[in-house]
Amino acid sequence: MKSTFKLFRIAGIAIGIHYTWLFALIFFSWTLAMVYFPSNYPGWSSLMYWIMGIIGALLIFVSVLVHELAHSLVSKTRGTQVSSITLFILGGASNLDEEPERPAVEFIIAIVGPATSLILGAIFFAITHFNIDPTTPLYAIISYLSIINIYLGIFNLLPGFPLDGGRVLRSLLWGSTGSLAKATDIASIVGQFFGWAFIALGVYLMISVNFIAGLWFTFIGWFLNSSADASRKEVALRERLGIIKVKELMNENVATINPETTVQNMVTNIFRKQHGRAVPVCKDGKMVGIATISDIKKVKQEKWATTPVKKIMTTKPLYTVAPEDNLNKALLLIAKYDVNQVLINNQGKCGGLLSRADVIRLIQMNTELGIK
Ligand SMILES: [Zn+2]
């Protein structure tokens, strides 16, 4: 994900923002400074409204982050690693390294986010009832925090996949039917229903109430709709790849290269003659690294003839799968680390590699031949 900027880490989880989030920051600051604060707290200066608007928009960021952290930290205690959290225009996404293995685990991971938001909302709501002057910025911020956290909790509880409420629904269906695929299907259809409902509501608002608010609802609806559809396809694909083993796709006679070979030799004999973009580097049958087209770019062309492959190859991290692993595991590694291929470690021996292109080719072939 090159469109994401990494900000910092909390409990080992990388926190990043997607560039679309910057548009949300501007939009929310503007709405808060021009509409929300002036109509609820009249009589402040316009500078004050803008300061409050920007603080308010940043607090949406913090509220979404706390919500996502709740998901991530609970996932970690349940044994599912979380590598990163990304905030984008419509909220946040915790990038779990794998799907939860049992319905009960998915249920807890899903419900804890909205629960955290609702509890926070309730706490801020309670604080507004303390002795705070209701015309002050402090009161305005606390009251606003209670509202956005309650909204965040309620919106995410809508029972359409991939929203949290949809995950709760899916875990219940999964638990009662025993089929993750069937549960995902139903929960995504409900998700698409909510998507269409938001679009209809948005169009109505655009025409007869407030164009901008209507546009926003339509946008959320479109997003819900398309992500429900994408999630369903992704789960179906994972199910299919989950039953195919790496060894069924691996090429036994794949070329490997010795670390002492020169870069020039590798370019001439491997990359020019074969279609791949990477080659496993092996010594005495053992895997020692991987050399890719990107690695070659590290040295000038004049030096190719005198530079051994071991000088440019990648030695760590090496992402490997075993021949007995399924393709889903390979694809998850490829996606998670944004690499083009994984090495196949055949009980410590050099077993070749499996590329993203190999998996895509298999999917295309299966689709063309109608193989399920
Ligand atoms: Zn959530």
Whether residue 352 sits in one domain with residue 273? yes
Look up the domain containing 144 and give its range: 4-242
Whether residue 228 sits in one domain with residue 323? no
Scored b (16 or more CB within 10 A) or e, 139-166 reads: bbbbbbbbebbbebbebbbbbbbbbbbb
CA 90–ligand 1 middle distance (angstroms):
11
In the chain, pLDDT over 90 holds for what percent of residues? 17
CA 243–ligand 1 middle distance (angstroms):
30
CA 170–ligand 1 middle distance (angstroms):
14
CA 126–ligand 1 middle distance (angstroms):
23
Q: What is the mean pLDDT of the chain?
A: 84
pLDDT over 90 (residue 118): yes
Closest CA to 181 of 212, 140, 189, 324: 189
CA 327–ligand 1 middle distance (angstroms):
28
CA 224–ligand 1 middle distance (angstroms):
14
Domain boundary (242, 262, 277) is at 242
Whether residue 232 sits in one domain with residue 192? yes
Structural domains of the chain, count: 2
**What is the average pLDDT across 118-130?**
92
CA 341–ligand 1 middle distance (angstroms):
31
Whether residue 221 sits in one domain with residue 204? yes
**What is the average pLDDT across 270-274?**
78
User: For residue 90, what pLDDT band results from cuts at 50, 70 and 90?
Assistant: low
CA 67–ligand 1 middle distance (angstroms):
6
CA 259–ligand 1 middle distance (angstroms):
47
Beta bridge mates, 283: 286
Q: Do the Cβ atoms of 56 and 142 come closer than 8 Å?
A: no
User: For residue 1, what pLDDT band results from cuts at 50, 70 and 90?
Assistant: very low
Q: List the structure tokens of 108.
A: 């807890």
Whether residue 77 sits in one domain with residue 23? yes
Cα separation of 111 and 103, whole Å?
12
**What is the average pLDDT across 281-293?**
84
Q: List the structure tokens of 202.
A: 């948005």
Q: Do the Cβ atoms of 306 and 371 come closer than 8 Å?
A: no
- Residue 102 neighbours by CB under 8 Å, 6+ apart: none
Of 191 and 277, the structure prediction assigns the larger pLDDT to: 191
Whether residue 192 sits in one domain with residue 48? yes
Q: How many residues does the chain have?
A: 372
Cα separation of 27 and 46, whole Å?
17
User: For residue 246, what pLDDT band results from cuts at 50, 70 and 90?
Assistant: confident
